[in-house]
Structure 1
Amino acid sequence: MAQWRKSSHSESSTVQTDCVEVTAFIDAVGIRDSKAPTSDHLSVSRADFGVLVARVKQDVPER
């Protein structure tokens, strides 16, 4: 069973925040909505996940 992790930056006792959880699969990374953990998830390659994280850190808008 996958172990899902949520960013510590998304924790708040006063405000409900929008965040995702991630898990590592053998050849991919799973991403899901933390407020709907029983819903489906998105799987992306490790390389694409790395690009996504880099873009988020740089605050680069979608193309």
Structure 2
Amino acid sequence: MRTVDLSLATWRKSTHSNQDGGACVEVSDDCVALVPVRDSKTPHGPVLAFGESGWASFVSALRDGALDA
């Protein structure tokens, strides 16, 4: 397991996040080959980290509707 220092990371909120404070996902573009993701409601909480290709596949599947219920 690799430890990544995210103390200086710049976070951006997903354009699909709810403006009422719910369903807020933030990602950071500051890491090489890694995409950290967190819940904006708990900024000091856990962070999930995905490889760039895995994240790109996930975002593409969302855009294509492949994950719709």
Q: TM-score range by the shorter chain?
A: 0.7 to 0.9
Deviations 1:15-60 (A, max 9, x none): 3331200002112000101111110100000000100110111121
For structure 1, the residue ranges without an aligned partner over 5 or more in a row are: none
SS in 2 for 1:47: helix
Tell me the CA shift for residue 10 of structure 1: 2.3
Task: Give the aligned length.
Answer: 60
Partner of 1:30, secondary structure, is strand
* Aligned with residue 56 of structure 1, among 52, 58, 62: 62
- Determine the C-alpha separation between the residues in 2 that align with 1:54 and 1:29: 15
The match for 2:47 among 25, 38, 41 is 41
Matched residue SS, 1:43: strand
**20, 24, 28: which one aligns with 1:19:** 24
Partner of 1:6: 13
Larger fraction in helix: 1
Runs of 4+ in 1 over 4 A off after TM superposition: none
Which amino acid in structure 2 is aligned with residue 60 of structure 1? A
Cα RMSD after superposing both structures: 1.8
Q: Which has the higher contact order (CA 8 A, sep 6+)?
A: 1
Structure 2 stretches lacking a partner, 5+ long: 1-7
Taking only the aligned residue pairs, the percentage that are identical comes to: 32
